[in-house]
Amino acid sequence: MTDKNLLEIRGLKIEGRRDGKVTEIIRGVDITLGEGEVLGLIGESGAGKSTLGLASMGYTRAGCVISEGDIRFRGENLRNLDAAAQRRLRGRRIAYVAQSAAAAFNPAHRLGAQVTEVPVLRSLMTQPQADREAISLFEEVQLPSPVAFGLRYPHQVSGGQLQRAMTAMAMICKPNLIIFDEPTTALDVTTQIEVLTAIKKIVRDHGTAAIYITHDLAVVAQIADRIKVLRYGEEVEEAETARMMAAPRENYTRSLWSVRSFRKQAHTDAQGQPLATIENVIAHYGELKVLDDVSVELHRGRTLAVVGESGSGKTTLARALCGLLPSTSGQVTLSGTSLAPSFRGRRRDQLKSIQMIYQMADTALNARQTVGEIIARPAELFLGKTKPQSFDRARELLDLIGMEPGTFLHRYPGELSGGQKQRVSIARALAAKPELIVCDEVTSALDQIVAEGILKLLDQIQTELGTAFMYITHDLDTVRAIADDVAVMHRGKLVRYGPKEKVLTPPFDPYTELLLSSVPEMRCGWLDDVIESRGQTATA
């Protein structure tokens, strides 16, 4: 290991061991990282990105074992440290920022107490010192009201604010290395810029080294000094960011660069009676108005994309359509018939006609049921099929989504990849033969190759079955790829609505212009240009 290298990994091999089976996850990968340097790790799902990032801390998830290789941090081989020594290192010298801050924070404790916990427990600071340091970091990552912010609970702040709070929590012990594991994947484009700006500033100002794991190529171009591409646990190539973006050497890397070429097939126009309407709907969470007089239409064979930042009312609109959140006023109709505000008051045939695919397949699928049972249940419930008939329906749908029934019918969700779980969620939604499917951010947590596969599958389903889709997303590239109509939401109101070509063509209202200007571009320096144009401060 050279003097300038903070982290050096050589010949790392990691195996997954379960039920007597051994699977190679990382296959002889090397990493060299200098003080203050940022390395981007990219690749599709299953490439080993997160496993490699965690291994940089000397850590593996349950069922995984480091079988070969050295992991040297400041010259010390982490594999030779006992568990107590490794725990002392983590959080202090090496920190980790998880993909989902909402899942990582304890909902029962205030944010300030969680951010200051490690330095106080490790006797690095007194509680008053840690409180002052937390406030300073909250200010540095541009959180609102830094002095009072730590008094809030996780549910009282936005997703983007939680991710910035987690970055502050990672920084409070002044670590030499931070592992960022997909920290902006689930964020809307405007919030993503806030988080990226905070990360970029704090890494540069403090001279902290970082490993930035992502499947978003435009994002990694703004953060990383070098990029390493992984596939099936092996390195494909590595280069400085500018060279990698300009001229990737390997075919696989070039395929990642060009994956967003998908565009949906032409479908029906919006003539005739709509399949479903949402008319002048107002909805509340308690006293808080979350939908304010919203009206949209959905037509057979067409996709309505609903876009906007976190808290704009996108998912609430879908919940009002499905009857999961009864509207305060207004109405929802299906085939010209007014639906009860709550799903509890709707007929079974009406429930059958509107199905939903949830954002997180991990939590939407019952871990104790097989794939066959998960897909068969709606066929039993809504179509009145016998159990053997419902399993025939499950096999038919597995064929449709490109998953071999003989291989997957009796598997459990824990045995599937992220993309496979989302395909099973799609099959479950189709099992009842709905006329309308609501897709709630169904590709936001997927890498671009898997996401493109999901979009193609949805397009195929729409072409063959004439299904109407409401597609909720914060990804405007996806909107351009799949939408026929677009509804732009902001603070519960509909600010722009119509055919895609009209909505995405200037002149724009100020909010739509902000959204469109916040979509990361595939070029180095884009974030710096945006920061400068908006008058934000970040050290390049």
Do residues 138 and 104 both lie within one domain? yes
Residues 70 and 100 in one domain: no
* Domain match, 301 and 198 both: no
- What's phi and psi for 521, nearest 5 deg? -100, 150
Please indicate, yes or no, whether residues 470 and 348 belong to a single structural domain of this protein.
Answer: yes
In 3D space, the residue among 452, 185, 473 whose CA is nearest the CA of residue 306 turns out to be 473
The 10s digit of each residue's pLDDT in 498-524 is 999 999 999 999 999 988 888 888 888
Q: Determine, yes or no, domain membership for 532.
A: no
Domain-located, residue 512? no
Q: Are 175 and 95 in contact (CB under 8 A)?
A: yes
Task: Tell me, yes or no, whether 519 lies in a domain.
Answer: no
518 domain-assigned: no
480 with 497, same domain: the answer is yes
- Grouping H, G, I as helix, E, B as strand and the rest as coil, residue 249 is coil
Using CB atoms within 10 A of its CB, is residue 283 exposed (0-12), middle (13-18) or buried (19+)? buried
From 218, 234, 249, the end of a domain falls on 218
Query: Residues 248, 51, 443, 332: what is their CA dihedral angle, to the nearest 10 degrees?
Result: -160
Confidence check: pLDDT of 202 > 80: yes
Strand locations in 130-222 (E): 177-181, 209-213
Q: Give the pTM.
A: 0.79
How many domains does the chain contain in total? Answer: 3
Q: Which residue has the tokens 């020594």?
A: 85
Interval 5-29 mean pLDDT: 91
Q: Could you tell me if 10 and 104 lie in one domain?
A: no
DSSP letters of 299-366? Answer: -TT-EEEEE-STTSSHHHHHHHHHTSS--SEEEEEETTEEEPSSGGGS-HHHHHHEEEE-S-HHHHS-
Lowest mean per-residue pLDDT among 111-120, 188-197, 237-246, 295-304: 188-197
Rounded Cα gap, residues 40 and 524, in angstroms: 13
Q: Which of the pair, 116 or 159, is modelled with greater confidence?
A: 116
- If asked whether residues 299 and 251 sit together in one domain, one would say no
Residues 200, 291, single domain; the answer is no
**Which residue shows structure tokens 């959905």?**
298
Q: Do 29 and 77 meet the contact criterion of CB atoms below 8 Å apart? A: no
Give the whole-angstrom CA distance, residue 53 versus residue 209: 13
Together in a domain, 360 and 472: yes
Distances in whole angstroms, Cα of residue 217 to Cα of each of 213, 221, 312, 532: 10, 6, 26, 21
Q: pLDDT category, 540, cuts 50, 70, 90?
A: very low
Cα 12 to the center of its chain, rounded Å:
28
Domain extent at residue 119: 91-218
Residues 6+ apart with CB under 8 A from 196: 184, 219, 222, 223, 527
Cα 348 to Cα 325: distance, rounded to the nearest angstrom: 18
437 plus 490 within the same structural domain: yes
Q: Looking at the predicted structure, is the pLDDT value of residue 309 above 60?
A: yes
- What tokens does 165 get? 């709070």
265 part of a folded domain: no
Q: What is the CATH number of the domain that holds 473?
A: 3.40.50.300
255-291 tens-digit pLDDT: 887 656 667 776 667 778 999 999 999 999 888 899 9
Q: Is 526 contained in some domain?
A: no
Amino acid, res. 350: Q
5 in the same domain as 120: no
Residue 104 is assigned to a structural domain of this protein: yes
Is residue 332 domain-shared with residue 433, that is, in the same domain? yes
437 part of a folded domain: yes
With cut-offs at 50, 70 and 90, classify the pLDDT of residue 539: very low
